[in-house]
Amino acid sequence: MNRYMLDTNICIYLIKKHPPEIVEKFDAYRKGEIIISSITWAELCCGITKDGSDLVQQLLSILEVAPFGVEQSSLYGELTRLFPNRKANLDRMIAAHAISLNVQLVTNNSSDFEIYKAAGLKIDNWVKS
């Protein structure tokens, strides 16, 4: 049922409701078709300020947070061996999570994830679509 996993930047766009095409695209799907990784949730929690906490919690109320477990950890290790010079560890973890769940990763930072296409990552960019 899950079709898409949102990267952190897309979640921030949803919270800010800008650009509007992100909200429109998101609204076109049913609950359960779009998830976020627990890694993305952790990134969002790092950026929560007192003023933004309610907005992030509101996002959590409409999105399922998929846990990052043993299977994802194993795939993360494999991606690390395949792409040892890639420094963005959280991006690699999110990529591993999306690959393991066979969902498309929605991001506006496609270039950060392009390298993982060779390992099976599917990327979609709702900002440029």
29-71 per-position pLDDT tens digit: 988 899 999 999 998 888 766 556 777 778 888 899 999 999 9
Does a structural domain hold residue 129?
no
Count of domains in the chain? Answer: 1
Does a structural domain hold residue 104?
yes
- Residue written as token pair 């509007």: 20
29: containing domain:
4-124
Does a structural domain hold residue 65?
yes
CATH number at residue 27: 3.40.50.1010
Does a structural domain hold residue 67?
yes
Does a structural domain hold residue 31?
yes
Which of these, 85, 89, 121, 119, lies nearest to 106 by C-alpha position?
121
Q: Where is 122: in which H helix or E strand? A: strand 122-124
pTM: 0.90
